[in-house]
């Protein structure tokens, strides 16, 4: 019996016991709560994952504001992704240990990390694509780049194709909480690269 329970706890596969994602919990006012809920955006019950993804925008704007060119912007995004991953892993671990929950819906730092990685991977391609269309939508090239990245990331994060769904369902440890969003970002990046190749091909016809 102990061996079974130990194995369940190790992989955080609680599907055979309970689904604690939406369990009501008292979230302590602490630094780990601030990070894991991304300044308590995750406490909003409606579309917390979507709002968490959008919550990356102020940081995205700040990173680009302090970049001299696109190469520096990409470097800033990669550094940001690594820092957010380290902080997020610590924060999610502390959150789970203190609230006794697993992948709770109020945790949205994983969506923030996913958006950061999506843009780090795809910024160059999306920025070049956006230069032909941002005037059409009446927004800046920087904003259109973010919107396209947001749509692509959220599609894969919500649909969770292939093994992303498996990771999301069966790995509820702190790394697993973040891993499915990293995979969604990589999938989105692959699609954006294909779109860029198509765009680049027709641009010179």
Q: Mean of the pLDDT values across residues 180-184?
A: 97
CA distances from 44 to 47, 75, 165, 177 (A): 8, 32, 24, 19
How high is the pLDDT of residue 73? 97
Listed in sequence order, the residues at least 6 apart from 103 whose beta carbon sits closer than 8 Å to its beta carbon are 12, 20, 21, 168, 172, 176, 177
On the question of pLDDT at 135 being above 70, the answer is yes
On the question of pLDDT at 126 being above 70, the answer is yes
The answer to whether 109 and 88 are in contact (CB under 8 A) is yes
pTM, rounded to two decimals: 0.87
On the question of pLDDT at 61 being above 60, the answer is yes
On the question of pLDDT at 46 being above 50, the answer is yes
205 pLDDT tier (thresholds 50, 70, 90): low
Tell me how far apart the alpha carbons of residues 126 and 197 are, in angstroms, rounded to a whole number. 11
How high is the pLDDT of residue 151? 98
How high is the pLDDT of residue 169? 86
Paired tokens of 198:
């198509």
Q: Mean of the pLDDT values across residues 8-22?
A: 45
On the question of pLDDT at 173 being above 50, the answer is yes
Which residue is associated with the tokens 């902080």?
87
For the chain, count helices (H), then strands (E).
10, 0
């Amino acid at each position: 019996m102990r061996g079974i329970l130990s194995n369940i706890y190790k992989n955080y596969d609680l599907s055979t016991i309970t689904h604690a994602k939406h369990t009501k919990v008292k979230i302590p006012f602490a630094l780990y709560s601030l990070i894991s809920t991304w300044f308590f955006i995750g406490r909003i019950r409606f579309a917390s994952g979507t709002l968490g993804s959008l919550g990356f925008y102020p940081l995205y704007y700040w990173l680009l504001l302090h970049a001299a060119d696109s190469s520096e912007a990409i470097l800033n995004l990669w550094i940001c992704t690594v820092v957010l991953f380290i902080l997020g892993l610590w924060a999610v671990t502390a959150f789970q240990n203190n609230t006794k929950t697993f992948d709770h819906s109020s945790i949205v730092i994983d969506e923030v990390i996913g958006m950061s990685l999506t843009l780090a991977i795809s910024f160059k391609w999306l920025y070049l694509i956006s230069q032909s269309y941002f005037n059409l939508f009446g927004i800046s090239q920087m904003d259109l780049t973010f919107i396209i990245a947001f749509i692509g990331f959220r599609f894969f994060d919500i649909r969770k194709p292939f093994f992303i769904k498996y990771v999301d369902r069966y790995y509820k440890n702190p790394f697993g909480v973040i891993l499915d969003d990293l995979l969604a970002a990589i999938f989105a990046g692959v699609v954006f690269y294909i779109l860029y190749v198509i765009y680049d091909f027709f641009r010179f016809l």
